[in-house]
Structure 1
Amino acid sequence: MSDAHTFGGRPATDPLPVDVSHEPADPATEPDELVAWREPDDDDRPPVRGVSRRRRILLGSALLVSLVAAGGLGTAGWRVADQKDARLETPAQVAGLVRDDSERARSTADYLRSGFVADIDVDRSIGAVYTDPADVRRTVLLFGGTTLLWRPEHDLDTLFELMSDEGGAVTGIREVPSGELGGTMKCGTTSADDGDLTVCGWADHGSVALGMFPGRDVTEAANLLREIRESIQTRD
């Protein structure tokens, strides 16, 4: 047998050497998971949608309502603090009128004051009858009290209802200017034995009072009550 043939199943000559040197891989041929992560370009990002005009308007409206509400609460709080510590006096003379200290006048004032405090809880109450030196038929009856009132207008309306329960209904009740001391002032009329009787009252966060003005119309009675109030009401 020739030497060129195998001996025992092995090749007669050595095989060619295997090249085990490492060649750099072509990135284009590597699997996707081996490719390095790349920051997306601006063109790759999805477009950002802006806030719609309708949403801007709704948001602005909500902010405005919140701002107005906060301002309203601040104003109301300041008004309560400014008016709550009120005092009422019944001087011997006020607005050209003279206090009547007769027994009959005192009894009338006490009767009105007692009915008042039975319906409205106050810290201090007053009651007085004032006569007009120019005309005794134009006597003024005044009663009221001082305390912290959270709903002044409601308490004033309660006083008018009290007057309606005690006598004829007070009708034509309407708001009138309250003057420099603020609060709420209203006037109406009721029937009396000698004609119509004007009833006016005021209320703020520290006081509430009602006056009866025979022989005077609403305009004259309201003007007189404002003058009386500015003379008898003070605040700490």
Structure 2
Amino acid sequence: MSDAHLTERPAADGPEPIDLTDEPIQLSNRDPESAPERRGTWSRRRRVAWAVAAVVGLAGAAVLGTAGMRIAQQKDADLATPDRVAGLVRDDSDRARSTSDYLRSGFAADIDLDSSFGTVYRDPADEKRSVLVFGGTTLLWQPERDLDSLFKLLTDETGKVTGLREVPAGRFGGVMKCGTTSGDGGDFAVCGWADHGSVVMAILPGRAVEDAGRLFRSIREEIQTRG
């Protein structure tokens, strides 16, 4: 039966005959030309969806991993008050100690610290340019947010801090910002830094913001260490 085909004889009142040929019998109403394309499209869509999900998951894990590493690197901070720092000399007079204690206690009341300090550093070249430094150590999850909050509290105490902007934080990282406020002696610079293990602020009279930022960064390089 080379080219012939068999035809099933219909029974009385039975179904229509079915031709048995050499061609495959189609058991679907789908267009045979479009079916493979549709299967391929859906398969590609699934692969793309899984790939996107994997990339998003990896990106999220990378962000969490980077943040966790940064916290681990910064959380164990130590702060000291050496006799000399960045060309300045620590002022241990009663007046300076009273001022530094006032700043330290006020600062510690605004943020929960593991340890706190306040000190005054005298500029040997100009007594009117003494620098007041105060802050402490603690675990901070969002250093920039906490630093901004402290600048707002300082604004309430001293008057509006204007021109607040980020400046280079140096090798310890984190965030450092400086601005200007006014007092009885005129305008003076205010700077602060925060990382995941420490937060410190300083009042730097008689200096422009750029100079204050450089000096504050130098002070940080000498008073901060990490365990």
Pick the TM interval, shorter chain: 0.7 to 0.9
TM-score calculated relative to the size of structure 1: 0.78
Within 2, Cα distance between the matches of 1:104 and 1:121?
Answer: 26
Within 2, Cα distance between the matches of 1:44 and 1:175?
Answer: 72
Residue in 2 that maps onto 1:110:
101
Please identify, of 55-64 and 181-190, the stretch whose mean Cα deviation from structure 2 is larger: 55-64
Residue in 2 that maps onto 1:7:
none
The correspondence for 1:229, drawn from 216, 220, 225, is: 220
Within 2, Cα distance between the matches of 1:68 and 1:99?
Answer: 47
Structure 1 segments, 4+ long, off by >3 Å, are: 41-48, 51-62
Alpha-carbon distance, 1:57 to partner: 4.7
Residue in 2 that maps onto 1:208:
199
Within 2, Cα distance between the matches of 1:94 and 1:45?
Answer: 88
Higher-Rg structure is 1
Superposed CA deviations along residues 116-141 of structure 1, whole A, max 9, x for unmatched, are 01010000001000011111111100
Alpha-carbon distance, 1:42 to partner: 7.8
Please give the residue correspondences for 1:157-236 in structure 2 after superposition, counting only pairs within 5 Å: 157-236=148-227
- When residues 44 and 91 of structure 1 are mapped into structure 2, their CA distance, relative to the original with a 3 A threshold, is same
Alpha-carbon distance, 1:61 to partner: 3.3
Q: Which runs of 5+ in 2 are unaligned?
A: 1-7, 12-22, 29-34
The correspondence for 2:41, drawn from 51, 55, 64, is: 51
Within 2, Cα distance between the matches of 1:51 and 1:205?
Answer: 49
Superposed CA deviations along residues 153-173 of structure 1, whole A, max 9, x for unmatched, are 121112211211112111111
Alpha-carbon distance, 1:51 to partner: 3.2
Within 2, Cα distance between the matches of 1:54 and 1:214?
Answer: 64
Q: Which amino acid aligns with 1:138?
A: R
- How many residue pairs were aligned? 203
Please give the residue correspondences for 1:125-144 in structure 2 after superposition, counting only pairs within 5 Å: 125-144=116-135
TM-score calculated relative to the size of structure 2: 0.81
Q: Which runs of 5+ in 1 are unaligned?
A: 1-27, 32-40
Q: Secondary structure at the match of 1:122?
A: coil
Q: Which amino acid aligns with 2:56?
A: V
Q: Which amino acid aligns with 2:40?
A: G
- When residues 43 and 92 of structure 1 are mapped into structure 2, their CA distance, relative to the original with a 3 A threshold, is farther
Within 2, Cα distance between the matches of 1:83 and 1:60?
Answer: 34
Aligned-pair identity (%): 62
